[in-house]
Amino acid sequence: MNITNDVKYVGVNDHDIDLFEGQYIVPDGMSYNSYAIIDEKIAIMDSVDARFTDEWIANIKNALSGRKPDYLVVQHMEPDHSANIESFTKEFPEAKIVSSAKGFAMMKGFFGTDFNDRQIVVGEGDTLSLGKHTLTFVTAPMVHWPEVIVTYDSYDKILFSADGFGKFGALDVEQDWACEARRYYIGIVGKYGAQVQALLKKAANLDIKIICPLHGPVLSENLGYYINLYDIWSSYGVESEGVMIAYTSVYGNTKKAVLMLEELLKTNGCPKVVVNDLARCDMAEAVEDAFRYGKIVLATTTYNAEIFPFMREFINHLTERNFQNRTVGIIENGSWAPTAAKVMKTMLEKSKNLTFTDTTVKIMSALNEESTLQLKALAKELCK
């Protein structure tokens, strides 16, 4: 695949993987992107997962038509992008490795060597000339590892964005970009919103026509759409108006309350209602929804004087990723000593700018007249 006349795709698709990073379901696989910039000198941008060594090397050789690469630029040391550095050095012994100082330090951890005899260490604003293509390096610490750099090619106006603007899914599968990019961003990068904001400010000074990420498709049209979403996600803003309900239910009574609330919200004109059964849904999808919508309802049972395990896990996922700037409603159930509301609020104490609804729905085993009235009041609050 040609990105431009001089830039070619040499990455791979992975349809054998079941869980990305050992936790994220990827039914449509993953891509591990690598690019060749072919000029007077040749730079290969990043490596691929260890299981695709032969395919990657073959892709490079095919793209270069007998020429040899001069550089391997390592933007990110996560193994799905760096596992083949050593294989590359053996296949192309004359090539230099370009990376950040922290990147080389990590190489020693992964490979037992920092390839000192072929290092080119780069930092903020450093450049590398390939001929007409000049690469400028921009540091991006903690997006989402500390060694990360991104690279700008001023000739083709390409931003090689490391894990930024990536998504789940192989390139030979058509998907809605935002859905899987959102799940990828919130799950993997979401904790580091401030760092992404800093990188976006740097990128705003560049004339970018194409974005080449390390996962997912190359972006070359309507870049404002993608950049705007990244700005919303990294500033913890509200992407879509609506209410997300996350619940657990042991014997069905909490579920009945949630389904009633869903109908009440719709009756009261709420533009969108999304319901997630935390015991059965993809947890990453539920977390994605919590960050997408401006209002969230947490509904769970008191369990061992605590809360149901799936709800605890869910809230931990939220707080780990700096959940903030939301309106939160609570439904608690407890047959004799309900404590779920107190536990959930305590877990969310460190989250910034959360507004709790005036109404907390308290169910004693099953819905009754009082708790039904509370549900109606909660629906009206959320639909204001």
pLDDT of residue 384: 87
CATH code for position 71: 3.60.15.10
Does residue 376 surpass a pLDDT of 90? yes
Residues 247 and 117 placed together within one structural domain of the fold = no
Does residue 1 surpass a pLDDT of 90? no
Residues 171 and 286 placed together within one structural domain of the fold = no
Q: How many CA atoms lie within 13 A of 3 on its CB side?
A: 29
Out of 174, 205, 234, pick the residue that ends a domain: 234
In tens, the pLDDT along 104-126 reads 999 999 999 999 999 999 999 99
When divided into structural domains, the chain yields a total of 2
Out of 199, 234, 269, pick the residue that ends a domain: 234
Residues 260 and 377 placed together within one structural domain of the fold = yes
Report residue 345: phi and psi, to 5°.
-65, -40
CATH code for position 339: 3.40.50.360
Average pLDDT rounded to a whole number, residues 228-245: 97
Asked if residue 209 belongs to a domain, the reply is yes
In tens, the pLDDT along 187-211 reads 999 999 999 999 999 999 999 999 9
Residues 186 and 94 placed together within one structural domain of the fold = yes
Q: Provide the residue type at 266 as one letter.
A: K
Average pLDDT rounded to a whole number, residues 121-142: 98
Residues 207 and 82 placed together within one structural domain of the fold = yes
Look up the pTM and report it. Answer: 0.93
How many whole angstroms separate alpha carbon 76 and alpha carbon 189? 13
Residues 188 and 147 placed together within one structural domain of the fold = yes
CA dist 382 → 247, 272, 302 (Å): 17, 11, 24
pLDDT of residue 361: 97
Average pLDDT rounded to a whole number, residues 178-190: 96
Out of 213, 234, 255, pick the residue that ends a domain: 234
Domain assignment of residue 55, given as a range: 7-234
pLDDT of residue 89: 97
In tens, the pLDDT along 247-283 reads 999 999 999 999 999 999 999 999 999 999 999 999 9
In tens, the pLDDT along 325-369 reads 999 999 999 988 899 999 999 999 999 999 999 999 999 999 999
Residues 325 and 372 placed together within one structural domain of the fold = yes
In tens, the pLDDT along 66-118 reads 999 999 999 999 999 999 999 999 999 999 999 999 999 999 999 999 999 99
Residues 37 and 116 placed together within one structural domain of the fold = yes
pLDDT of residue 346: 97
pLDDT of residue 337: 87
